[in-house]
Structures are given as structure tokens and as C-alpha cells.
Amino acid sequence: MSDSARNRFGLGPRSSLATLVLVLASGACNDVVEPTPGEPAFEWNLPTGFPTPRVPEGDPMTEEKVALGRHLFYDERLSGNETMSCASCHQQALAFTDGMPLAVGSTGDVLPRSSMSLANVAYQPVLTWGNITQTALTTQMHVPLFADAPVELGLGGMEDELLDRLRGDATYQSLFDEAYPDETDPFTVDNVTRAIAAFERTLISGDSPADRFRQGNVNALSASARAGRDLFLSDSVGCFKCHSGHNQVFFTSNFDFEGRSLPHIQFDNTGLYNLTVNGEDGWYPTPNTGLYEITGNPPDMGKFKVPTLRNVAQTAPYMHDGSIATLDEVIDHYAAGGRTIDSGPNAGVGSANPHKSRLVKGFSITAGQRQALLEYLGALTDETFLTDSRFSNPWPAGSPAHGAP
């Protein structure tokens, strides 16, 4: 695909034709529904410089739906054995990640990838590390709720039991009626996923020191952090080439919002691995082969979604499989132009991966520059977001939402 075609469709420089086809087929560009006459528009209360999120057709945002979704998000009755909730893998203090290399499901199944941050998920046109077809929060949610290989929340085949659990709670009787007042029986799986999605769209982070600096407060960053910002935005280090997005608002190259004609999507191979399989270089360990798993296109091997760097100091460990423990080691990885693993089943020189992004070139960095860059990355932490009571657990301690009796 030519560069002009990629630019036209908002795709990254390494995106394949298969990527384009999947983007156009995904329906990620649905029009936003205007409020019906007499219905007030939803108040987003967006940070300075943030565009309005795109909301799917037929599923408008309401305060009542958000309130219901917040209760559902924190309710452990949304797992088969009533031991986990959505919040178990997406904890507010960790920018809605879980601090683990790989997520673990309610029955102990270890998932192949780490839990992604939900910060600013309202602006994300694709939702998972390696599956470009997962474009809608409501449909993607069926995977953690109902998948059985591996088990996450473990509700597969228990849809009726789930709804009975919710119907039996007086709090939900009120919340469902208020969120879906025109429905005779609002207790449906679709309404559960719509409400959780509505709550997740409100998880907007935009009040870090870096944001305040961007808005004109020159004292929001220390001198060292300002030097780190200069490195971040420099051609030599080049973090911004993948972690920018709409005027330094998103810190990822994956974003969409109301008014854009098409989403901007970028999946990249960063040279994390370079395995030789049947005499062929460039492979990643199964099952984490990235976009290749979906497209079957060899150049897509090892391509994963570029994540946001917002609150990145709170979201360790890093990469799709949690295989890099610290931000310092992340800098090592990119400075080397890819990771070298000397021995073991994953041995290989990542910088030589034939499918690696051309943006991952490597760079030289002094100890002082490294410290400055780390300080700037730390300045992407939004303490308000991590502690905002609007996003916290609404259930009182000891309620049924905190697990089976």
C-alpha cells in the first residue's frame, strides 16, 4: 500500500492492505446519534483540548446508563464463581490495569496478554493488543464475560443466571429501570454491555503535569522533565512518532473522535522478539503473533496495537506480554532498536527482525538524558484520574457485589 493511501485512511506507516480492509469492514466510523428532541445532550466535562468522543449509533450516553455501568463494572457477580469483576483486571489506582505481566481469569486461567489500560478508551477505534476486528466496547465485552478458552469472567452458558442475579438486587431494579425506562424488561445481556461501555467511555484522563504544561503552565514540569519532553519530541529519540495523536492529547497513534472521517490506527512490530521457525526469521512466540493471528499476512507478524503512554508509570510491567518490567528497561529496548534475548526458547536479536517497524531505529542516550526522559514519562501521570470518586467502586463493603457469601 502506498504512503498516500495509508495517510488517506489514517493508518500507520507499516499498516498492510489487510489492515485497511479490516478497518473499513469494522464499522468503527458509525455516525454519532444526536439527542432526541427534548433529551439533554450528555455532559462530558472534557479536559482542555479533548475532542468529543464518538458514540455508536443507537446507543446514546446518559447519566443513568453510566451509573448502572459503574455498578456493573465493580460487581463480582459478573463472574461465574462470583470472585472477580471487570475491576479485578482494571484497577483505578493502576490506570485501570492490574500490575501483572499476564492477566489471570476467575478460575485461574492465565491469559496470553496483559490487561490494557482503559484510560481514554472512548477514543480507541480498536480495543485489544492484537485483534483489529474488535472495534466496539459492547461486542468486545463478550470475550471477558463469556469466553471459555481461556476463561476470564467465566459466564459462558450462564447468561440467564447472570440476569437472575441482577434482577434479585433491589439496587439494580432501580438502576436498570432508570437507564432503560422505555423497556418492559431491561434486564438483558445487551443492556449490561451497553451500560458498562457507557461507564468506560467516561474514564477520560487529561489532567497530568504534561497536560498543564501543554495548556501554558510552564511551571507544571521541572527543568529535567522539560528536557525529557524535548527528547520525547525529537527526531533522534522519536517517541512521539508512535505516541502522539491529535496535538499530544492521546499519546498513542490509535484514536478516533466525533468529526473525524476515519479512525487513525497503527499496529507495530517493535523488535521485541525474533524467533527462527522452520528456517524463517521474524517470528514471535505463539499464541502472541499479533495482527498476523487475524490476517495471516506475514508482514503482520509481531504487530501489536500502539498503547497510550498516559499514566505509563502506573501500568508496569510493559509490552503485550508484560515481558519488560520497568520503564528504564523499555528505554533500553528502544535505544537498542529491539530486544536481544541471548538464550532460551525465545532467543533472538529483535533489532534484526525483518518485520520490525522502520520507526524503531535505535538511538544513543546519556544517563542524564535517560533520567530526564523518565521524569517526563512520570509527568504523564494524572493523579486526579487515579483517585476520581466518579470512577471508584460504588458498592459498600459487605454487599453481594463483593463476592459470593
Phi and psi dihedrals of 152, rounded to 5? Answer: -105, -90
Give CA–CA dist 192/196, Å, rounded.
Answer: 6
Length of the chain: 405
Q: Mean pLDDT lowest for which of 2-6, 284-288, 315-319?
A: 2-6
Residue 402 pLDDT: 84
| Distances 247 to 11, 215, 232, 332, 387 between C-alpha atoms, Å | 17, 11, 14, 27, 25
| Percent share of the chain, pLDDT over 90 | 86
Average pLDDT over every residue of 330-342: 98
* Number of domains composing the chain: 2
Average pLDDT over every residue of 331-346: 97
Give CA–CA dist 210/54, Å, rounded.
Answer: 25
Q: What's the pLDDT tens digit per position in 210-223?
A: 999 999 999 999 99
Residue 398 pLDDT: 87
Question: What is the domain-level CATH number for residue 223?
Answer: 1.10.760.10
Give CA–CA dist 237/364, Å, rounded.
Answer: 8
- For residue 283, list its beta bridge partners: 275
**Of residues 404 and 279, which shows the higher confidence score?**
279
Mean pLDDT of the chain, nearest integer: 91
Q: Are residues 217 and 169 in the same domain?
A: no
| Percent share of the chain, pLDDT over 70 | 90
Residue 325: Cβ within 10 Å count: 13
Helix, strand or coil for residue 207?
coil
Burial of 39: CB neighbours in 10 Å, binned 0-12, 13-18, 19+: exposed
Q: Are residues 176 and 225 in the same domain?
A: no
Average pLDDT over every residue of 172-201: 98
- 176-208 in b/e form (b: 16+ CB < 10 A) is beebbeeeeebbebebbbbbbbbbbbbbbbbbb
Average pLDDT over every residue of 254-269: 96
List for the chain the helix, strand, coil content (%; round to 5).
35, 5, 55
Q: Are residues 134 and 193 in the same domain?
A: yes
Q: Are residues 115 and 192 in the same domain?
A: yes
Average pLDDT over every residue of 278-289: 96
Residue 324 pLDDT: 98
Confidence of residue 377 (pLDDT cuts 50, 70, 90): very high
Average pLDDT over every residue of 39-67: 93
Residue 26 pLDDT: 37
Q: What's the pLDDT tens digit per position in 122-167?
A: 999 999 999 999 999 999 999 999 999 999 999 999 999 999 999 9
Task: Provide CB contacts within 8 A for 100, sequence distance 6+.
Answer: 114, 115, 317, 322
Residue 92 pLDDT: 98
Give CA–CA dist 63/56, Å, rounded.
Answer: 16
Q: What one-character-per-residue DSSP string does 229-252 give? A: HHHHTSTTT-GGGTS--TTTTSSS
**Hey, which bits of 321-385 come out as E strands?**
340-341, 348-349
Q: Helix 159-167 crosses helix 189-201 at what angle (to 10 degrees)?
A: 70
Q: Are residues 391 and 377 in the same domain?
A: no
Residue 39 pLDDT: 59
Task: Provide CB contacts within 8 A for 124, sequence distance 6+.
Answer: 254, 255, 256
Q: Are residues 21 and 116 in the same domain?
A: yes
Give CA–CA dist 49/47, Å, rounded.
Answer: 6
Task: Please say if the pLDDT value at position 35 is more than 90.
Answer: no
Residue 5 pLDDT: 35
Phi and psi dihedrals of 316, rounded to 5? Answer: -65, 155
Q: Are residues 215 and 173 in the same domain?
A: no
Q: Are residues 329 and 389 in the same domain?
A: no
Assign residue 238 a region: left if phi > 0, alpha if psi is -120 to 50, beta otherwise? left
Confidence of residue 245 (pLDDT cuts 50, 70, 90): confident
Q: Are residues 271 and 201 in the same domain?
A: no
Q: Are residues 148 and 84 in the same domain?
A: yes
Q: What's the pLDDT tens digit per position in 99-128?
A: 999 999 999 999 999 999 999 999 999 999
C-alpha cell of residue 63 = 447519566
C-alpha cell of residue 203 = 474514564
Residue 23 pLDDT: 42
Give CA–CA dist 8/264, Å, rounded.
Answer: 10
Q: Are residues 319 and 365 in the same domain?
A: yes
Residue 70 pLDDT: 98
Check if the beta carbon of residue 290 is closer than 8 Å to that of residue 302. yes
Residue 4 pLDDT: 34
Q: Are residues 16 and 147 in the same domain?
A: yes
Residue 392 pLDDT: 98
Tell me which residue range forms the domain holding 308: 209-383
Give the predicted TM-score (pTM) of the model.
Answer: 0.90
Residue 219: Cβ within 10 Å count: 8
Pairing of strands 267-268, 275-277: unpaired
